[in-house]
């Protein structure tokens, strides 16, 4: 185990794969010379400009060329600096990469990763702060990873690169500085496997990405009131570990889903529908969602803080069930 | 002339094969025997035939919605193609792709594409794969005049330029972006001029003259194989049908249409073969019989093939594999 931050853990995973697989390369705006969140700087220092490639400000070509490169046998790890720019790359991602395996009858593989930074918290306002996982999850053929800890980030970026499908890897920008113990060497986690970050028996809180830590903080506040919450970190939304959700609800009989994305058609609605459909008899209370409101992300720090769900909102949601 | 008898005969046969495939598909569509949409390549055969004359099995092509000709010229199996556009389980894509989504990975085909301009970044990325693999492979990226107004065109050509990628951008300028005439949808006469924005060569050729296409493509492919970077080739041509089968193309001037039909690439190829004394009428007639028999066999294969099992709906969403 080595102590490192979330960004360093991702870099460790990237370098692990670049070392063992010559087809892996990193590509994106300023990934070599001036990476926005610093993640790929060490990769460039180690592997140089052929395998860590700066591009013009051309998001469509960054993701679009990666689709072709992957179809032709490489394993690109493309970076879209902010998830808000997914509007620019959505054809390449959702209409091309996601569909090629299916459209071509299973004959073509598109083993590519798109890394991107999501989330509010740094005052980046409406066009640099969104959590757009629902856009990705709504396109069959894309896998979707949203880790919450440095160790998970390393194990999952490695899995994403080794996977033969297009994988979107979402890094919440408030996590980059988070420290944690990370396994050394060849450390890989399976895609589609949730992790119980805190065991409990009274209520299940399902979360992913940075919201996992808010949920854990809420669980501590609830513990002080004698409520023992279980926090299930999905880690990957596609594939979704439905068993982990159902097993936890079978134990606690209460479900709160917390996410930073806006409420309407958010991924929380999908989980709520899943549990209502397949676990109705398990529930002792209504399912609650704790989400951002249906607004753009505001700039002013006061408004931004009010936009992002906090631990108290999760606590209130849990309290409303008991 | 830079082509010899065998080369011209091979390109001519390729054009015939494409034309026959498209004609049969057209006829089946009109009689209700073929579902979906069809964007036919008829009239543009000289482009794919002339370009592919320089391609090797390991070279890549990124194709378009009007892509049957590109794949046939690259060596595609017409039986698997016909079965695919008929939606049969024996097709290239098990019937899941259809006319706009046929690919043959073994031939370096990265697929036809339903989105205008989408072939551009895909072909560019394949070009990077060619370059990083270090061999002499190249990628041909096909697209139409309409696609050159999309952002994908700009971003892709610029990226290929700064990376010196071995990509040949082949613009099939049939003068209409769906129904919108080129003189109205851009203010340049020659799309090849746009290459100057990226700092690499752009050339204009008569896209109905298979020898002219072959000469331009040969030069561009040789340069790309040698590490000399990309080229934009604009092939001015004409589609014999509308944008899709069922589009009567009322937006085109009938006189212009007639003038282009008189310059049918197959007729021009025949004239060239005759004037060089490279083929008799009897030899050409025999070749047409052979090609027609090939396509008939493809039609028979397609029509007699089974439809997909409904259970196939749910397969192939994700690849199960990965790199160990």
Residue (of A13, A11, A1) closest to A182 by Cα position:
A1
Contacts of A73 in chain B (CB under 8 A): 129, 133
pLDDT digits over B111-146, tens only?
999 999 999 999 999 999 999 998 999 999 999 999
pLDDT digits over A233-291, tens only?
999 999 999 999 999 999 999 999 999 999 999 999 999 999 999 999 999 999 999 99
Domain end position, chosen among A135, A159, A182: A182
Q: DSSP strand E in chain B: where?
A: 60-62, 139-144, 167-173, 176-177, 180-181, 202-206, 231-236
Please indicate whether, in this complex, the C-beta atoms of A60 and B155 are within 8 angstroms of each other: yes
Specify whether the CB–CB gap between A80 and A31 falls below 8 A.
Answer: no
Could you tell me if residue A187 is inside a domain?
A: no
Average pLDDT, chain A: 98
Please indicate whether, in this complex, the C-beta atoms of B94 and A106 are within 8 angstroms of each other: yes
- Whether A26 shows a pLDDT value over 90: the answer reads yes
Contacts of A68 in chain B (CB under 8 A): 60, 62, 110, 121-129, 139
Please tell me the total count of domains within chain A.
2
The pLDDT assigned to A38 comes to 93
Could you tell me if residue A306 is inside a domain?
A: yes
The question of ipTM being above 0.90 is answered as: yes
Could you tell me if residue A274 is inside a domain?
A: yes
Could you tell me if residue A189 is inside a domain?
A: no
Compute the distance between CA of residue B40 and CA of residue A76 in angstroms, rounded to an integer: 34
One domain for residues A25 and A144: yes
Residue A137 vs residues A189, A198, B81: alpha-carbon distances, Å: 20, 26, 32
Q: Which fold has domain B5-303?
A: Rossmann fold (3.40.50)
Query: Residue A114 is part of a domain; what is its CATH number?
Result: 3.40.50.970
Annotated catalytic residue A128? yes
Across the range A105-132, mean pLDDT stands at: 97
Contacts of B111 in chain A (CB under 8 A): 71, 100, 103-104, 108
One domain for residues A80 and A150: yes
Domain end position, chosen among A161, A182, A203: A182
One domain for residues A18 and A69: yes
Q: Where are the domains of chain B?
A: 5-303
Please indicate whether, in this complex, the C-beta atoms of B124 and A64 are within 8 angstroms of each other: yes
- As beta bridge partners, residue A116 has A80, A170
Could you tell me if residue A55 is inside a domain?
A: yes
One domain for residues A219 and A259: yes
CA atoms within 13 A on the CB side of A313: 18
Residue A281 belongs to domain spanning:
195-319
Interface test with A, best of B87, B106, B155 (most A CBs within 10 A): B155
pLDDT digits over A170-219, tens only?
999 999 999 999 999 999 999 999 999 999 999 999 999 999 999 999 99
Query: Residue A304 is part of a domain; what is its CATH number?
Result: 3.40.50.920
User: How would you class A277 by CB atoms within 10 Å of its CB: exposed for 0-12, middle for 13-18, buried for 19 or more?
Assistant: exposed
Q: Does A21 touch chain B (CB under 8 A)?
A: yes
One domain for residues A13 and A129: yes
Phi-psi region of A294 (alpha: psi -120 to 50; beta: other; left: phi over 0): beta
Interface test with B, best of A17, A18, A68 (most B CBs within 10 A): A68
Across the range A80-105, mean pLDDT stands at: 98
Place of tokens 């409904």: B310
Compute the distance between CA of residue A60 and CA of residue A103 in angstroms, rounded to an integer: 21
The pLDDT assigned to A322 comes to 77
CA atoms within 13 A on the CB side of B131: 23
- Which of A55, A108, A164 is opposite residue B103, by nearest beta carbon? A108
The pLDDT assigned to B181 comes to 94
Q: Does A47 touch chain B (CB under 8 A)?
A: no
The pLDDT assigned to B258 comes to 97
- Kindly compute the dihedral angle of the four CA atoms of residues B310, B311, B314, B320, in this order, to the nearest 10 degrees: -140
The pLDDT assigned to B201 comes to 98
One domain for residues A308 and A252: yes
Could you tell me if residue A217 is inside a domain?
A: yes
Name the percent of chain A lying above pLDDT 70.
Answer: 100
Could you tell me if residue A89 is inside a domain?
A: yes
Compute the distance between CA of residue A266 and CA of residue A212 in angstroms, rounded to an integer: 16
Could you tell me if residue A188 is inside a domain?
A: no
The pLDDT assigned to B322 comes to 84
- Output b/e per residue, B252-287; b: 16+ Cβ within 10 A: beeeeeeebeebbbbebbbebbeeeebbeeeebeeb
What residue in B sits closest to A63 (Cα-Cα)? B121
One domain for residues A177 and A313: no
For chain B, which ranges sit under pLDDT 70?
A: none
Q: Does A238 touch chain B (CB under 8 A)?
A: no
Compute the distance between CA of residue A163 and CA of residue A183 in angstroms, rounded to an integer: 20
The pLDDT assigned to A22 comes to 97
């Amino acid at each position: 185990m080595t102590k490192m931050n979330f960004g360093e853990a991702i870099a460790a995973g990237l370098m692990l794969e670049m070392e063992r697989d010559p087809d892996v390369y990193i590509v994106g705006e300023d990934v070599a010379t001036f990476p926005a969140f610093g993640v790929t700087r060490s990769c460039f220092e180690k592997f140089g400009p052929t395998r860590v490639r700066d591009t013009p400000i051309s998001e469509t070509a960054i993701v679009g060329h990666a689709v072709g490169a992957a179809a032709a046998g490489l394993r690109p790890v493309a970076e879209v600096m902010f998830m808000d720019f997914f509007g620019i790359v959505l054809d390449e991602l959702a209409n091309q990469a996601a569909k090629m395996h299916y459209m071509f009858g299973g004959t073509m593989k598109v083993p590519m990763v798109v890394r991107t930074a999501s989330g509010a918290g740094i005052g980046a306002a409406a066009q640099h702060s969104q959590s757009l996982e629902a856009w990705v999850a709504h396109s069959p053929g894309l896998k979707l990873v949203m880790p919450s800890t440095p160790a998970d980030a390393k194990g999952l970026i490695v899995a994403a690169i080794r996977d033969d499908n297009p994988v979107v890897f979402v890094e919440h920008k408030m996590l980059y500085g988070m420290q944690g113990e990370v396994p050394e060497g060849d450390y890989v986690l399976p895609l589609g496997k949730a992790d119980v970050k805190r065991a409990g028996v009274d209520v299940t809180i399902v979360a992913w990405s940075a919201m996992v830590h808010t949920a854990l903080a809420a669980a501590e506040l609830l513990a002080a009131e004698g409520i023992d919450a279980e926090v299930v970190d999905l880690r990957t939304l596609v594939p979704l570990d439905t068993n982990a959700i159902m097993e936890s609800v079978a134990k606690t009989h209460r479900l709160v889903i917390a996410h930073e994305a806006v409420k309407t058609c958010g991924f929380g609605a999908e989980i709520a529908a899943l549990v209502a459909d397949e676990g109705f008899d398990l529930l002792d209370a209504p399912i609650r969602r704790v989400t951002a409101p249906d607004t753009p992300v505001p700039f002013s720090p006061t408004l931004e803080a009010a936009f992002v769900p906090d631990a108290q909102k999760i606590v209130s949601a849990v309290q409303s069930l008991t | 002339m830079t082509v010899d008898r065998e080369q011209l005969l091979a390109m001519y046969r390729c054009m015939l094969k494409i034309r026959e495939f498209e004609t049969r598909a057209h006829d089946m569509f009109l009689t209700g025997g073929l579902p979906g949409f069809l964007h036919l390549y008829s009239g543009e055969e000289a482009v794919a035939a002339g370009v592919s004359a320089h391609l090797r099995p390991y070279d890549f092509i990124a194709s378009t919605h009007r892509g049957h000709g590109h794949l046939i010229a690259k060596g595609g199996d017409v039986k698997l193609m016909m079965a695919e556009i008929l939606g049969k389980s024996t097709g290239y894509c098990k019937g899941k792709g259809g006319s706009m989504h046929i690919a043959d990975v073994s031939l370096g085909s990265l697929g036809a594409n339903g989105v205008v301009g989408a072939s551009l970044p895909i072909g560019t990325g394949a070009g990077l794969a060619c370059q990083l693999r270090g061999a002499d492979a190249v990628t041909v990226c096909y697209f139409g005049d309409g696609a050159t107004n999309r952002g994908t065109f700009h971003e892709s050509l610029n990226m290929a330029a700064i990376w010196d990628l071995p990509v040949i951008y082949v613009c099939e300028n049939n003068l209409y972006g769906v129904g919108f005439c080129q003189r109205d949808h851009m203010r340049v006469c020659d799309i090849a001029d746009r290459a100057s924005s990226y700092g690499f060569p752009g050339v204009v050729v008569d896209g109905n003259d298979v020898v002219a296409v072959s000469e331009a493509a040969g030069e561009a492919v040789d340069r790309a194989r040698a590490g000399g970077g990309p080229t934009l080739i604009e092939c001015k041509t004409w589609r014999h049908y509308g944008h899709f089968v069922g589009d009567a193309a009322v937006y085109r001037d009938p006189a212009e249409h007639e003038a282009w039909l008189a310059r049918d690439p197959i007729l021009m190829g025949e004239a060239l073969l005759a004037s060089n004394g490279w083929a008799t009428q009897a030899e050409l007639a025999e070749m047409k019989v052979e090609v027609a028999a090939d396509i008939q066999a493809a039609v028979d294969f397609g029509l007699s093939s089974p439809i997909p099992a409904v259970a196939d709906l749910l397969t192939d969403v994700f690849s199960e594999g990965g790199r160990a």
